[in-house]
Structure 1
């Protein structure tokens, strides 16, 4: 096995995926069987500078190089050889945000990440103009807000892209984005798999009175789909990626993608009627649609898969953070009682208690709003636990209500899709911290969505593996082989997961809880207004 891997590395029968997440940059090298053979990572954090969340260009390149170096060191340690060539490379990153450059390629303003909720006016005006929901974090909202603000740099813009698009450009010289990433820059036309032409014209008409020296298509990257060749690593790009200077130029790169798209790939959720849900600090669900929705919804974002299929995304800012703090409190109690317990045992015991609770949590109510929650229109949050004298207050119901409420805001968005729009969903793939305790998170999610929830072992590989698979598809596909078929037949064939079916009693209990949740939002509003920070 090791000998075969060494030959694959030497001959370039590999694919490398690098994803720049908000707290970690990860590099994953896969072999010809698509299994990871080496990995590397770099931890980083955004900075809050001049009221703006950002990462400096120096931090970006340092982190990229260190994650690559860590991966290359892993190869050296495992197989005793250096990485000189790779079959294909893919770059992925956190979506949206604002990176704009002048004619000499200089960054005009510090990178504004997706975290900056500073585009409320632009978001509202564009959503009304297009009849299509434009979230604040989208790149076009950042651009239009800069125009509304009268920012001096706007007239000097010659190129706008995302973090993944920027790195891809510097590695290859090619100004391009994968369609999934591009769908978080500007709305995509489902028929052309390109920016929506009518909306482009609307935007150009909107800004025409400002007499800027560019039109939108002049400054946006080209849109490509999975399987397209997006350029090759240049000599300069090779040196940027591998500071040791061992990596050769000429390696093909697939279209750069966003973390949402690579998450779909890593969970094999790119075909219609499939979906995935990521549940951790925040929670979001992505459902691949069979047709367009009947109208625009403020609660639903519309993006695409890396092949250009329409995806509806329901996103909640708050999920497990407050729940984790309660678990931590019980851990402190155990320690004070002289009981030593590790984190896995603590979570396992408490989460499994939730399965013993009343279906509707015994009348208890909680909100884990550590931050604001756009689904329920809260600009700030206040964690709350509420009960009446008639509630069935016990440990099982206490844990159950905090697991239920972690998915409360998400359910509002998913109910729009599944109930109001009649979207069909055969199953949803779960990944993230909420699912670490076997079976519990799945059962609660199945109750919330009334859909089978599956967890696969490969889901933990993450987006870096997902973009590596996209790179592998570009070079390995046969003829007209679709990406969906490639994943099903070559990557995930034979891989099994654990599926939990929704329990009717749990589903009814969650519905009863949601009536209490919606009615109790007045309590949350009072807490926000009273407990000002």
Structure 2
């Protein structure tokens, strides 16, 4: 639909999200609906033992995705995009980007996927009496200290991927509180890093020979609705080298993909939750009160406004499944078949519905990398079956779809069983839910919780970031972001809810029992390959 600069649709907000497989750009209008989009694919690589991305590639991919969006916008409006009302940057949470005082990166980008920080995770969890998963930036930093890595003494600033891009675009080392909560523990009362824990960390670092002030090293924390700097002219050219995009545009605090997922699914109020299902899978439950005890498997993070959230983060989502789909696609093309990748996914996912409820003894372990919840430092993708199992395409696909949800269920049981947290409904988004019904049905059966999917389920992240950008202008009218989302964003959104089917719940329970029993097979594979 063409946009008319003379009516109420002349306002525009831009969301840029650096996901694990694609960098995506979404432009929304004053009605907060997407009007133009762009994307560019990229992949992590195992470099010197660490999962990483080339930071130089960040800018190439942002420009490519932005260029696609801008071309689409120009095709719709017959005008070049030169100005937007606000911009927001999102990216994969956690990870490690250490810089020296000359702004030089000291190591390769170490992403959330790395599970080499077990000793640091355990030590800091004990020190803080607060769960510090291996993915967190502070765990990466402390592990580098324990490893006596040469670069540690030169660290002047730490950042995440979203924080890094925002800094380059604005000159401001600031970060949204949701993203900050994956760097260092947050005090929900002060809406900032926990002062007592920072003091403990500094003391602990000194004990092993490092003089640091972690408060000065971490980026400044801001909450949703605040202005976190302005796009500089140099920053504008990093996004749009044509020079058409102007500078001096307000930018909201950069956030992680967990925060954008909460916004994009209207899951920022207490007792709401969402599941993001893609390369990684994680569930976010907004809490009324703190958990009864510490659980090393559960991340304690926050909403974009600083309210406490219990997060079940699973490193391995659909990556192994995607690999099998591509392999099956290659086989089909050898026979002369002509199809799109979306059609291939849709047909294979639908075929899985014909499989046995428990996959009849087929098991998959989708461990491309390590897995914190099941205590694996590294992974080996693995598929096994009993000799008497029905080895059909339907059972094969269902086994791999179930595998992507198995560790999530193990983590959710800590919240729903051990902590007795009641979740009445959860909203799903991400690539797993693109095919209608299939992913939603399996997730409802796997979690035994009703699952809602909205009509934008496959592309919620960058849209959620664009909504956070728009909230810079909306906060005065809506001090409570949940009211803003309820009134202006989700009042007329199409959605469908699916309740757990007893047969699916029982089938997944049987699959999960076999999965847990067979984890020893994955352990042997990791230890001996």
TM-score over 0.5 for the alignment? yes
Name the stretch that deviates more: 354-363 or 486-495. 354-363
In the aligned structure 1, how far is the partner of 2:315 from the partner of 2:217?
A: 31
Structure showing greater Rg: 1
- 2:4 maps to 4
- 1:174 maps to 172
- 2:470 maps to 472
Q: 2:94 aligns with which of 93, 96, 112?
A: 96
In the aligned structure 2, how far is the partner of 1:286 from the partner of 1:367?
A: 23
Q: 1:235 aligns with which of 217, 233, 236?
A: 233
Alpha-carbon spacing, 1:343–1:87, altered in 2? closer, same or farther (3 Å): closer
Matches within 5 A, 1:448-463: 448-463=446-461
In the aligned structure 1, how far is the partner of 2:469 from the partner of 2:453?
A: 24
Alpha-carbon spacing, 1:73–1:373, altered in 2? closer, same or farther (3 Å): same
Name the stretch that deviates more: 403-412 or 239-248. 239-248
Alpha-carbon spacing, 1:329–1:47, altered in 2? closer, same or farther (3 Å): closer
Matches within 5 A, 1:162-201: 162-201=160-199
In the aligned structure 2, how far is the partner of 1:326 from the partner of 1:55?
A: 23
The superposition leaves residues 381-411 of structure 1 with CA deviations (integer Å, 9 ceiling, x where unpaired) of 341222264x666665555444333322211
In the aligned structure 2, how far is the partner of 1:332 from the partner of 1:243?
A: 38
- 2:85 maps to 87
The superposition leaves residues 488-523 of structure 1 with CA deviations (integer Å, 9 ceiling, x where unpaired) of 110111112111101223223322332222223334
In structure 2, the residue corresponding to 1:520 is in which secondary structure?
A: helix
**Deviation of 1:309 (Å):** 1.8
The superposition leaves residues 151-185 of structure 1 with CA deviations (integer Å, 9 ceiling, x where unpaired) of 34333333222222122223222221100010111
Q: Is the 8 A contact 2:433 2:457 kept in 1?
A: no
- 1:503 maps to 501
Matches within 5 A, 1:130-279: 130-209=128-207, 212=210, 214-279=212-277
Q: Does 1:75 align with 2:81?
A: no
Q: Is the 8 A contact 2:236 2:245 kept in 1?
A: yes
Q: Does 1:387 align with 2:390?
A: no
**Deviation of 1:31 (Å):** 0.7
- 1:483 maps to 481
Q: Is the 8 A contact 2:134 2:372 kept in 1?
A: no
**Deviation of 1:335 (Å):** 6.9
Name the stretch that deviates more: 358-367 or 96-105. 358-367
Matches within 5 A, 1:357-436: 357-362=355-360, 364-378=362-376, 379-387=378-386, 389=388, 397-436=395-434
**Deviation of 1:307 (Å):** 1.3
Q: What root-mean-square deviation, in Å, do the aligned CA atoms of Structure 1 and Structure 2 show?
A: 2.9
Name the stretch that deviates more: 503-512 or 195-204. 503-512
**Deviation of 1:148 (Å):** 2.3
- 1:29 maps to 27
- 2:290 maps to 292
Alpha-carbon spacing, 1:405–1:63, altered in 2? closer, same or farther (3 Å): closer
Identify unmatched segments of 5+ residues in structure 1: none
**Deviation of 1:207 (Å):** 1.5
Q: Does 1:110 align with 2:108?
A: yes
Name the stretch that deviates more: 368-377 or 69-78. 368-377
The superposition leaves residues 189-217 of structure 1 with CA deviations (integer Å, 9 ceiling, x where unpaired) of 12222111221111011123456554111
In the aligned structure 2, how far is the partner of 1:322 from the partner of 1:198?
A: 41
**Deviation of 1:436 (Å):** 3.1
**Deviation of 1:451 (Å):** 0.6
**Deviation of 1:528 (Å):** 4.5
In structure 2, the residue corresponding to 1:374 is in which secondary structure?
A: coil
Q: 1:516 aligns with which of 494, 514, 518?
A: 514
- 2:13 maps to 15
In the aligned structure 1, how far is the partner of 2:334 from the partner of 2:260?
A: 43
- 1:301 maps to 299
Q: 2:36 aligns with which of 35, 38, 42?
A: 38
Q: Is the 8 A contact 1:123 1:141 kept in 2?
A: yes
In the aligned structure 2, how far is the partner of 1:53 from the partner of 1:149?
A: 18
Q: Is the 8 A contact 2:359 2:399 kept in 1?
A: yes
Q: Is the 8 A contact 1:384 1:524 kept in 2?
A: no
Alpha-carbon spacing, 1:358–1:45, altered in 2? closer, same or farther (3 Å): closer
TM-score, L = length of structure 1: 0.89
Q: Is the 8 A contact 2:202 2:212 kept in 1?
A: no
**Deviation of 1:310 (Å):** 1.7
Name the stretch that deviates more: 333-342 or 274-283. 333-342
In the aligned structure 1, how far is the partner of 2:130 from the partner of 2:151?
A: 27
Q: Is the 8 A contact 2:115 2:372 kept in 1?
A: no
Q: Is the 8 A contact 1:6 1:79 kept in 2?
A: no
**Deviation of 1:342 (Å):** 6.4
The superposition leaves residues 259-297 of structure 1 with CA deviations (integer Å, 9 ceiling, x where unpaired) of 121122122222222222222343222222222222222
Q: Is the 8 A contact 2:122 2:132 kept in 1?
A: yes
Identify unmatched segments of 5+ residues in structure 2: none
Alpha-carbon spacing, 1:414–1:253, altered in 2? closer, same or farther (3 Å): same
The superposition leaves residues 419-442 of structure 1 with CA deviations (integer Å, 9 ceiling, x where unpaired) of 111112121112233323321221
